[in-house]
Amino acid sequence: MSGGFTPAVAGSALGASAPAPVSPKNVPHRGGDANPSADALREKFGAALRRVVVMWGETTVYVDPARVHEMVQWLHDDPSQRYDYLSDVTAVEYRDLEQPIEVVWHLRSLPYRRFLRIKVEMPRGAALEVPSVWDIYRGADWLERECYDMFGIQFVGHPDLRRLLMWEGYKEGFPLRKDFPLRGRFSRSEQLRQALAANPEARYSRDELSIAEAYEDLPDDMKHRLNAGERTGE
């Protein structure tokens, strides 16, 4: 889907004469028409939109981290935008130490058939914190948890920011960061010791398998969540 494709619109709904979507052809590597939402963002938020890049027909906007939540909220709510689907939240760290770490949101407007990539840049050594968009898109819940788990990005305002892929007691850091050693921070013997010391039954709910024995080995915060009705994996 080309970032600049916009069907005919009547009011806030698609017109009946909207052309059928087609695959773009002869798309340039760089340049080309930007998604019209980029100009709308610049008009609405001014300097908070720092730059626009169009590559292979897809539009990326670099924005002020302090205003990213406000901008995403507007893209979601405004009738002229209607970005109703958050398809991904992730991060990028480059090997070049001069380049900042980027946090990335992929937004889609299904009614307007638009795709927009939003990025914020954070200098290395600065606090890796951005606002959570969970209150706008409930689907951000596990996406933000995965990004935190793998990169250490703190999503301020997330209701339950904890590891998702690695276990909650994982102490080796954030596996997708460039400074993370390929073999882990601990020796193989220490990794094996930790794995053998872990109780795999503690990953199940109190109603499953032999959790009666494993329950006593759980951390207090997990006991509290299970007592409140949470099932692990939620």
Classify residue 93: in a domain, yes or no: yes
Q: Which position has the higher pLDDT, 156 or 207?
A: 156
Least confident stretch, 5-19, 54-68, 169-183, 184-198: 5-19
CA 33 remoteness from chain centre: 26
Contact 91, 101 (CB under 8 A): yes
37 in helix, strand or coil? helix
Classify residue 232: in a domain, yes or no: no
Mean pLDDT, range 136-145, rounded to an integer: 97
Classify residue 126: in a domain, yes or no: yes
CA 225 remoteness from chain centre: 24
Q: What pLDDT digit, counting tens, does each position of 41-100 carry?
A: 999 999 999 999 999 999 999 999 999 999 999 999 999 999 999 999 999 999 898 899
Classify residue 40: in a domain, yes or no: yes
Classify residue 74: in a domain, yes or no: yes
Whole-prediction pTM: 0.73
Classify residue 182: in a domain, yes or no: no
The yes-or-no verdict on residue 163 having pLDDT over 60 is yes
Mean pLDDT, range 101-122, rounded to an integer: 96
Question: Number of folded domains in the chain?
Answer: 1
> Residue 6 carries which side chain, given as an amino acid letter?
T
Work out the number of other CB atoms within 10 angstroms of the CB of residue 58. Answer: 19
Question: Closest Cα partner for 69 from 101, 40, 105?
Answer: 105
Mean pLDDT, range 13-28, rounded to an integer: 67
28 — pLDDT class (breaks 50, 70, 90): confident
Q: Which position has the higher pLDDT, 52 or 226?
A: 52
pLDDT of res. 10: 41
- Which CATH number characterizes residue 27's domain? 3.30.460.80
Least confident stretch, 28-37, 74-83, 90-99, 198-207: 198-207
16 — pLDDT class (breaks 50, 70, 90): low
Residue burial 22-57, b: 16+ Cβ < 10 Å; e: rest? eeeeeeeeeebbbbbbbebbeebbeebbeeeebeeb
> Residue 76 carries which side chain, given as an amino acid letter?
H
The domain containing residue 10 runs over which residues?
1-165
Classify residue 173: in a domain, yes or no: no
Mean pLDDT, range 152-171, rounded to an integer: 91
Classify residue 142: in a domain, yes or no: yes
Least confident stretch, 10-14, 22-26, 68-72: 10-14
Helices 36-45 + 68-77 axis angle, to 10: 120
